[in-house]
Structure 1
Amino acid sequence: MAKLFLQTHDAVFADRPRTAAGKYTAYDCTDITWSPYGAYWRQARKMCAAELFSARRLESLEHIRHEEMRALLHDLHGDGAAGRAVQLRDHLSMAALGVISRMVLGKKYVEKQQAGAAGAAVAATTTTPEEFKWMLEELFVLNGVLNIGDFIPWLDWLDLQGYIRRMKKVNRLIHRFLDRVLDEHDERRRLEGDGFVARDMVDALLQLADDPNLDVQLTRNGVKGITQDLVTGGADTSTVTVEWAMSEVLKNPAILAKATAELDAVVGRGRLVTEDDIPHLPYVDAIMKETMRMHPVVPLLVPRLSREDASVAGYDVPAGTRVLVSTWAIGRDPSVWDSPEEFRPERFVGSGIDVKGRDFQLLPFGSGRRMCPGYSLGLKVIQLALANLLHAFSWSLTDGVAAGELSMEEVFGLTTPRKIPLLAVVKPRLPDHLYAGP
């Protein structure tokens, strides 16, 4: 059924419903996720493919991903050397925010702030990790809720669940943050004049917005909406996936040992994992895919909307019908997967099943026209982080927690993070000089 809606009848079901989330958290549906199917969306999608996520641009920014990965390993090494247990999510989210903010925004706008004059100067141009993480988490929760007013419009004004009030609050904070980002980019463009060269994705978007030949004019709010998609989509999703992957391998020590053996054989213990190593690590790749099967970042794909009457599998579906695809249910369907509740990466080794929207039993990024446009970047960040964590450290659960007792409860929103953040003991397993940081 997913294939029928997302591929066979993709063009008919390529629209989006107009929801409170799109209106209040996505600049009145001017981002990529919630914008209706039409000339504006096609133009935004084209910008992503040609300018923002092209192989050339991703390759040119590879050094950022490696620098932030070294910073992550350096921070974890300090905790490991002291024998401390770490809350992995905090470290992962800072690394992901570092990668995404530098690639998209041009610098780290999220910094741990210090006291004193220097700290005050940093605070003037950055947001604290706590503030930013709250904004991201709130956005993902509110984009995944079932808001009564979206389904019963005449009740919308009552805001019975309080969701619209929360949407307006988080939007004000993000609006202020992105205004500051765009103002700084505009100022640099003004100062550099004709010698201006785009350094990051916001620069590229602002240049495109100035193009008089665009089919649909890209407004400042449109730039902010697309930027918000890039930042939120890239940061939280990779953190959630890697935390689940590490949870599963800690729960299954034999899988952890097998992954470590593959990394030692391919990479050795004299260097860190690079992106060039990833194609030669089929078992680590299988761990990622199995994680995405059992813990899809987006359990219900963003709703589709039919643009016209259609007939699907013998059912008459009228125009204006919403379609929800449950990737969570497909990933745990016993008619599709053997022993679906077991974490078995081996099922993907040599299977040929991919995550790029062509195999409908595994759709972490969706499929068809409305598939996540940034999946290629997401895969790079997830694979590099997971491989380096498994390679650079020995991992174990804290004293008193047996592998079989590790809680795997999840929180439902647009994404499904762990309910209880993973706490693990980390010990360095490579030479000390490799943890020196960027």
Structure 2
Amino acid sequence: MDMSSIWYYWASGALGILIFLTVGIKKWRSKRLPPGPFALPLLGHLHLLEPNVHECLSKISEKYGPLMSFKFGMKTSIVVSSSSMAKEILKDNDQTFANRSIPVVARCIAYDASDILWSPSGPRWRLLRKICVKELFSPKSTEALQPLRREEVRRTIGNIYKDSVKGVSVDVGAKAFMTSLNLITNMMWSTSTETGERGMEFKDLVGELVYVLGVPNASDLFPFLERMDVQGLYRRMQKVFVRFDRLFDSIIQDRMSGKSKGQDFLQSLLDLVERGVDEHDPDSVQLTMKDVKVLLMDMVTGSTDTTSNTVEWAMAELLQQPEIMQRAQKELEQVVGLDNIVEERHLSQLPYLDIIVKEILRLHPALPLLAPHRPEKDCEIGGYIIPKDTQVLINVWSIQRNPKAWKDPLVFDPERFADSKWDYNGRDFDYFPFGSGRRICAGLSMANRMVHYALASLLHSFDWSLPVGEKLNMAEKYGIVLRKAVPLVAIPKPRLLQPNLYD
């Protein structure tokens, strides 16, 4: 073989290797995870986490960017901290990210993750969501249930009035929680939890459920520990589930035996079970008794703590800035009058109250990291690859405090929403407290109305102040629902002109 031939083969081989390496490097780069901090063996990035996880992840994103990769134990998680990255996931790739990453304890409490929040996107999930939207959250249903909301809010105001006459301070969050729980159960099966032996049990169970869901679980981080349940969280949640299930069985049995009656959500569900599959709808799915209990569970657990915490945060922020509270009360005086109580028909005439609620949900979104998403396949986001079945956490708390989108983002300033485009539809990714895309909160309209009505009633009926010598603690406590670390306790002073208005 002459030198020219050797040179030719050597050059061809070198070129082939170069092409191979170039393509390989490009392919490797295209499949790499987003950047993230240095990870320890086995623990991954757990050593970096602080009690308020949402705030900790927000600080880390300042160094590593809006799309970060973490290893929490053996579990890979992607954290999103910018509106542009959130848009790519929740709008541009909505279908791919429509499923959930399910915590171990949620598989127990949610009837094997078969509820609206955790179940995979598909015909059955669409049926459950459609039932909620049509039977409970439609404009017709919302209007029909107005007397129930009025009754429950008035009952709360009456109870607070009795405390105010005695000079007793009030746990605002606890009052708002019981109002929400009473309202939801009354809407579900026409019985308030304040009456009957089931009342306190429901209250205890909802509180226990939210707490256990918010505790970091080693079984989620190290799957090989799941069988051992080293923290006992699954066993603890299983006890909650069994008690819930028994309560729902007894409620359903009372209705089916004729012991209880009502044209409510429960009755609508039982009618759908009896009706069976719609032969004219190819996507129709048979609703079962298990589905009935799933939906009752969703409504009771998903609508109480989130609503009451939003009201509590609102009252706390207003106590910090009494001039804003006074302006809201002046608006209420002009629209409602101190010789009358707040009615839902007044809400549309209270624009200042509306922007207060919007600002509260910007600063204190109920779910700071939303519910975790899970891609059904590898997907490219922001030039990086998000692997199939990775847990994706969207830090809406951080996004809604971004100084590039919001002036003085840490300041409570309702005026930033005056004459603005912002609403709750999830289409603008600088502000989406209820989520976005096909998994946006199904009860958005009802939650919004409940918060507005409860807050308006508290502000119109009473002047509020802190107990003498007390300072307002605005620290947050991270969990699946964002809470105040220290419950808000305040002193109410009646404002209405006639005492009988509190009856």
Write the letter of the residue equivalent to 1:127.
G
| SS of 1:324 mapped into structure 2 | strand
Which range is displaced more, 208-217 or 335-344?
Answer: 208-217
Write the letter of the residue equivalent to 2:386.
V
Write the letter of the residue equivalent to 2:268.
A
Counterpart of 1:267 (choices 336, 340, 347) is 336
Equivalent-residue separation in structure 2 for 1:361 and 1:105 (angstroms): 38
CA RMSD of aligned residues (A): 1.8
Say if 1:30 and 1:226, in contact at 8 Å, map to a contact too.
no
| Corresponding position of 1:58 | 142
Equivalent-residue separation in structure 2 for 1:338 and 1:363 (angstroms): 17
| SS of 1:311 mapped into structure 2 | strand
| SS of 1:127 mapped into structure 2 | helix
| Corresponding position of 2:263 | 199
Equivalent-residue separation in structure 1 for 2:276 and 2:203 (angstroms): 37
| Equivalent runs, 1:55-204 vs 2, <5 Å | 55-111=139-195, 122-123=196-197, 126-128=198-200, 131-188=201-258, 199-204=263-268
Write the letter of the residue equivalent to 1:8.
D
| Corresponding position of 2:491 | 425
* TM-score, normalising length: structure 2: 0.79
Report the CA distance shift for 1:87/1:22 in structure 2 as closer, same or farther (over 3 A): closer
| Corresponding position of 1:28 | 112
Report the CA distance shift for 1:110/1:180 in structure 2 as closer, same or farther (over 3 A): farther
| Corresponding position of 1:284 | 353
Say if 1:77 and 1:435, in contact at 8 Å, map to a contact too.
no
| SS of 2:449 mapped into structure 1 | helix
Equivalent-residue separation in structure 2 for 1:77 and 1:392 (angstroms): 9
Deviation at 1:356, TM superposition (A): 2.6
| Corresponding position of 1:117 | none
| Corresponding position of 2:275 | 211
Equivalent-residue separation in structure 2 for 1:107 and 1:143 (angstroms): 27
Equivalent-residue separation in structure 2 for 1:241 and 1:384 (angstroms): 12
Larger RCO (alpha carbons 8 Å, 6+ apart): 1
1:78-106 deviation line (CA, Å, top 9, x unaligned) = 11122221112222222111211111122
| Corresponding position of 1:348 | 417
Structure 2 unaligned runs (5+)? 1-84, 279-283
| Corresponding position of 2:480 | 414
| Corresponding position of 2:377 | 308
1:318-347 deviation line (CA, Å, top 9, x unaligned) = 322221111211122222222122111111
Larger CA Rg, structure 1 vs 2 = 2
Say if 2:107 and 2:113, in contact at 8 Å, map to a contact too.
yes
| SS of 1:335 mapped into structure 2 | coil
Equivalent-residue separation in structure 1 for 2:320 and 2:115 (angstroms): 39
| SS of 2:369 mapped into structure 1 | coil
Write the letter of the residue equivalent to 1:206.
L
Say if 2:185 and 2:191, in contact at 8 Å, map to a contact too.
yes
| SS of 2:296 mapped into structure 1 | helix
Instruction: Work out whether 1:15 is the aligned partner of 2:99.
Output: yes
Instruction: Work out whether 1:387 is the aligned partner of 2:459.
Output: no
1:121-158 deviation line (CA, Å, top 9, x unaligned) = x33xx232xx3333112222333344232343222112
Equivalent-residue separation in structure 2 for 1:22 and 1:246 (angstroms): 31
Deviation at 1:261, TM superposition (A): 1.4
Say if 1:30 and 1:221, in contact at 8 Å, map to a contact too.
no
Write the letter of the residue equivalent to 1:77.
Y
| SS of 2:114 mapped into structure 1 | coil
Write the letter of the residue equivalent to 1:17.
S
Equivalent-residue separation in structure 2 for 1:318 and 1:90 (angstroms): 42
1:199-234 deviation line (CA, Å, top 9, x unaligned) = 111111121122322522222222111111111112
Equivalent-residue separation in structure 2 for 1:109 and 1:386 (angstroms): 21
Report the CA distance shift for 1:127/1:268 in structure 2 as closer, same or farther (over 3 A): closer
* TM-score, normalising length: structure 1: 0.90
Say if 1:70 and 1:435, in contact at 8 Å, map to a contact too.
no
| Corresponding position of 2:281 | none
Deviation at 1:398, TM superposition (A): 0.8
| SS of 1:157 mapped into structure 2 | coil
Structure 1 unaligned runs (5+)? 112-121
The percent identity for this pair of structures is: 40
Equivalent-residue separation in structure 2 for 1:141 and 1:330 (angstroms): 25
Counterpart of 1:328 (choices 384, 389, 397) is 397
Report the CA distance shift for 1:318/1:90 in structure 2 as closer, same or farther (over 3 A): closer
Equivalent-residue separation in structure 1 for 2:181 and 2:199 (angstroms): 12
Write the letter of the residue equivalent to 2:230.
L
Deviation at 1:272, TM superposition (A): 1.3
Equivalent-residue separation in structure 2 for 1:220 and 1:281 (angstroms): 42
| SS of 1:384 mapped into structure 2 | helix
What is the number of equivalent residue pairs in this alignment?
414
| Corresponding position of 2:57 | none
Counterpart of 1:376 (choices 439, 445, 450) is 445
Deviation at 1:258, TM superposition (A): 1.2
Say if 1:306 and 1:319, in contact at 8 Å, map to a contact too.
yes
Say if 2:161 and 2:502, in contact at 8 Å, map to a contact too.
no
| Corresponding position of 1:45 | 129
Equivalent-residue separation in structure 2 for 1:38 and 1:152 (angstroms): 29
Deviation at 1:429, TM superposition (A): 0.7
Equivalent-residue separation in structure 2 for 1:319 and 1:202 (angstroms): 38
| SS of 2:385 mapped into structure 1 | strand
Say if 1:142 and 1:413, in contact at 8 Å, map to a contact too.
no
Equivalent-residue separation in structure 2 for 1:233 and 1:58 (angstroms): 17
| Corresponding position of 2:3 | none
Equivalent-residue separation in structure 2 for 1:357 and 1:14 (angstroms): 15
